Amino acid sequence: MAQNFDVIVIGAGPGGYVAAIRAAQLGLKVACVEREHLGGICLNWGCIPTKALLRSAEVYHLMERAKDFGLSAEKFDYDLDKVVARSRGVAKQLTSGVGHLLKKNKVTVIMGTATIPAPGKVSVKTEKGSEELTAKNIILATGARARELPGLEPDGKRVWNYKHALKPPHMPKKLLVIGSGAIGIEFASFFNTLGAETTVVEVMDRVLPVEDAEISVLAKKQFEKQGMKIMEKATVKSLERGADKVTASIETGGKTEKLEFDTVISAVGIVGNVEDLGLEKLGVKIDRTHVVTDEYCRTGVDGLYAIGDVAGAPWLAHKASHEGTMVAELIAGQNAHPIKPNSIPGCTYCNPQVASVGLTEAKAKEAGYKVKVGKFPFIGNGKAIALGEPEGMIKTVFDAKTGELLGAHMVGAEVTELIQGYVVGKTLETTEAELMESVFPHPTLSEMMHESVLSAYGRAIHF
């Protein structure tokens, strides 16, 4: 006989497990079905293990700079296997934590592959056979996987996707990274810091193309200073694979050149996991591999919701979790608030870090705003200089008419931790007046957030 629940969540990534826990907290009987690993891509193959790798690279980079701080670290090296083992260990610690949290909240976890044969019904193929479940509400949180372009498909030997790059079979000497979004640039930063001669190819006219144009330019300057080669408006047309090298045909400005590498990382985006679930039969609308939803994550099929990466951009863990919480509260009859796309921060943990929220200056102008723009450089901040991190900038964009904070854009040390200040400001619909009134502790990098706002109104003190 089918087991009945109030809510069945398919997928235990940051979207699914958070939705399951929140629904259980609200008194609902919840099942969470997962085919591979609790924690999803984020904890196993995404956010967390990449940050563990990048931390090793950051420590290594600081050791290289020891002299700048009056220290000597003459004999130091890295052991890639140990760096990777640490990253895998961090991922494992966190995924077992998710198992513990689900258990604590009395969520029934079923390990297996789910399909939805009819509205309100879920079939799960497990190691032992199959299980039938029913529920009035189903939350689809099946996530996404790496996009593969024809001819550039990863093979795990010389051409890698993010999973291969997280458990690399060798240390690249000459690395090509295809794509300069967050994933591509983070891997480029990691391997470049550890000594790989790194080239990044970006089809758009600048690296990190979703960021504010000035931030891209500053980030590029720093990447190049660290020895990376950046090719913009360039396309990798094909890869010729040999036993120990790959020859890439790269087209720029109408010319094609052939360059040799020993390793290639393909980071050309992701596609939603929408297949083999029975969605077409249910009449769920799919647009370019993503489930189409309204602002409450409703699919149009009664009782079926889609959250996180499977429901489209931005492909970020915190967006998935926020949607998970919102849908659980909606199902439980609470006053749920749809997520505001312009309040979702984006962070890239390369060196230097990049973080942003809201509209870029160009997008704000495109949207018809007359803007006031503030900028403050790291070189004007005491803490940045004390840290030995004088490169970077904080830029703020305001509606000139109302003072509404439209966007904030940062490049430099620790900005992924700073951006949250502006996110809170945006959520509270703050204007320049409240931000100027706020007291920022000294000496901190956060003072630059204040100064950037002041600068938009001609009042910056330290620059």
Residue numbers in the known binding site for NAD(+) are 179-186, 202, 269
Binding residue ranges for FAD:
51, 309
Cβ proximity to ligand FAD: between 75 and 288 the closer is 288
Residue 41 beta carbon to ligand FAD: minimum distance, rounded to whole angstroms: 4
Determine which one of 100, 170, 337, 442 is catalytic.
442
Question: Distance between CA 141 and CA 376 in Å, rounded?
Answer: 40
Residue 177 beta carbon to ligand FAD: minimum distance, rounded to whole angstroms: 12
Question: Distance between CA 68 and CA 373 in Å, rounded?
Answer: 34
Return the SS3 of 112: coil
Among 172, 135, 170, which residue's Cα sits nearest to residue 19?
A: 135
Residue 279 beta carbon to ligand FAD: minimum distance, rounded to whole angstroms: 10
Cβ proximity to ligand FAD: between 57 and 373 the closer is 57
- Is the backbone peptide bond immediately before 352 cis, with ω within 30 degrees of 0? yes
The residue type found at 57 is A
Contact 151/249 with Cβ under 8 angstroms?
no
Binding residue ranges:
51, 179-186, 202, 269, 309
Sign of the Cα torsion 147, 153, 154, 155 reads positive
Binding site for ligand FAD (CB under 6 A): 10-16, 33-37, 40-42, 45-47, 50, 113-114, 141-144, 162, 183, 273, 277, 308-310, 315-318, 320
Placement of tokens 């503030």 in the chain:
374
The residue type found at 155 is D
Contact 218/411 with Cβ under 8 angstroms?
yes
Q: Where are the beta strands (DSSP E) in 206-342?
A: 229-231, 234-241, 246-252, 255-261, 263-266, 270-272, 286-287, 290-291, 304-306
21 φψ region: left (φ > 0), alpha (ψ -120 to 50), beta (else): alpha
Return the SS3 of 18: helix
Which pair of tokens denotes residue 292?
């189409």
Return the SS3 of 22: helix
- Is the backbone peptide bond immediately before 314 cis, with ω within 30 degrees of 0? yes
Question: Distance between CA 52 and CA 442 in Å, rounded?
Answer: 29
Query: DSSP character for 128?
Result: T
Q: Is 164 a catalytic residue?
A: no
Among 153, 119, 179, 109, which residue's Cα sits nearest to residue 246?
A: 153
What are the residues facing 386 on neighbouring strands?
A: none
Cβ proximity to ligand FAD: between 83 and 144 the closer is 144
Torsion of CA 220, 223, 229, 233, to 10 degrees: -20
Which pair of tokens denotes residue 2?
């089918």
Residues annotated as catalytic are: 442
